[in-house]
Amino acid sequence: MAKDTFFHKKITLNAKGKLIDLSTPKVMGIINLTPDSFFEGSRNQSVDDALQQAEKMMNGGATFLDLGAYSSRPDADDISVQEELDRLLPAVEVIAGNLPTAVLSIDSFRAKVAEAAINAGAHIINDISGGQLDDEMFATVAKLKVPYILMHMKGNPKTMVQLAEYEDVFNEVFDYFNTRIHKLRQLGVNDVIIDPGFGFAKKPEHGYALLSRLAEFQQLGLPLLAGVSRKKMIYGTLGITADEALNGTTVLNTIALTKGASIVRVHDVKEAVQAVELFSMMNNKG
């Protein structure tokens, strides 16, 4: 089992002055401010609902809360920048004001939205496109000096299913990270987290190929985020629904932890925190 120090992996993040230690894995709770996310149980349409869910997740042991107002499920409809801002900013302001210990991540590929959310009280930018859908994103991250989650995908939510073809999915994703990280380093971005993008322009078999080699991404020396929660690679494989995929999610989260994941991004915080606690005890980190 790969240890945190084997590849001299970076194990701290500076999120607007909050120093986060990733030597023990952390849990990121998903808060969708959308009416059409793929998992019905994660949809929130009011600020009060979002705050209530945020409080539950923080009480359950989450370190990060990931707020998104643009659905990235396959074939999701496009929305305007203004609609995304109108959904997102009130929730950011209320959660930041009521839960000062929460580290807020903003799930957006638009630089304007990300910057407005950071200015409203958020701490981290989580970009599903890795800067490919907005040429201003990398410069914005560098200017704001905030941690950046660099995810791999091809195309956009409308087109990604058709683009899920690879000769060697691991090497393609690894090369993508190498190239994008170099660009971020040139701009002076210090805190980068990498996310292989399970389910984004990837068939279930691609997801399992990446999961089986997840530990090899530690060669990049950066914290690794695994986001498999209730995805098709689980429910499609098992012939169940997303609503029934919690047990499978816990299994794959546990595998990801054993392969070096520093953050697991989930809909179900309590169960993920329990998995981290048991993994940490096994690893003599409890």
**For range 101-112, the mean pLDDT:** 97
For the chain, percent of residues with pLDDT exceeding 70 = 92
Per-residue pLDDT at 78:
82
Half-sphere exposure of residue 209: CA atoms within 13 angstroms, side-chain side:
15
For 4-21, what is each residue's pLDDT tens digit?
Answer: 444 567 789 999 898 999
Per-residue pLDDT at 156:
85
Q: Is the pLDDT of residue 38 over 50?
A: no
3 state SS of 252: helix
Per-residue pLDDT at 99:
97
CA–CA distance, 281 with 188 (Å, rounded to integer): 36
Q: Is the pLDDT of residue 42 over 60?
A: no
For 161-188, what is each residue's pLDDT tens digit?
Answer: 899 999 999 999 999 999 999 999 999 9
**For range 122-126, the mean pLDDT:** 98
Entry pTM:
0.92
Per-residue pLDDT at 45:
64
Per-residue pLDDT at 216:
98
Give the closest residue to 30 by CA, choosing from 281, 273, 274, 269: 269
* Fold (topology level) of 24-282: TIM Barrel (3.20.20)
**For range 125-148, the mean pLDDT:** 97
Q: Which one is predicted more confidently, 76 or 268?
A: 268
Q: Is the pLDDT of residue 251 over 50?
A: yes
Tokens for 202? 């990837």
Q: What residues are annotated to the active site?
A: 231, 265
3-state helix/strand/coil string of 41-63: HHECCCHHHHHHHHHHHHHCCCC
Burial bucket for residue 160 (CB in 10 Å: 0-12, 13-18, 19+): buried
Residues 188, 142 contacting (CB under 8 angstroms): yes
Q: How confident is the model at residue 159 (pLDDT cuts 50, 70, 90)?
A: confident
Tokens for 239? 């012939």
Per-residue pLDDT at 77:
75
